[in-house]
Amino acid sequence: MILDEVCAQATSIVPNGYYPVYVDVPRGHQQFCAWHSTGSCAGTQVTFAFFFNLDGDPGCDPEDTSGLHSQGMAALANVSGHEWSEMLTDPHLDAWYDSNGAENSDKCAWVFGTPLLKFSNNSQWKIQGNWSNAAYDASSGFANRSGLLGCIDGGNYK
- Percent of the chain residues topping a pLDDT of 90: 80
pLDDT at 95: 79
Residue 62 has pLDDT above 50, yes or no: yes
Convert the pLDDT of each residue in 117-155 to its tens digit.
999 999 999 999 999 999 999 999 999 999 999 999 976
Domain ranges of the chain: 1-95, 97-158
> How far out from the chain centre does Cα 73 lie?
14
Q: What are the C-alpha distances in Å from 94 to residues 91, 103, 113, 117, 136? A: 8, 10, 28, 29, 22
Could you give the CA distance from residue 122 to residue 155 in angstroms, rounded to a whole number?
13
Could you give the CA distance from residue 138 to residue 141 in angstroms, rounded to a whole number?
9
Could you give the CA distance from residue 9 to residue 60 in angstroms, rounded to a whole number?
27
pLDDT at 52: 98
CB 47 within 8 A of CB 91: yes
Residue 157 has pLDDT above 90, yes or no: no
Global pTM value: 0.91
Could you give the CA distance from residue 39 to residue 49 in angstroms, rounded to a whole number?
11
- The mean pLDDT value for 97-118 works out to 92
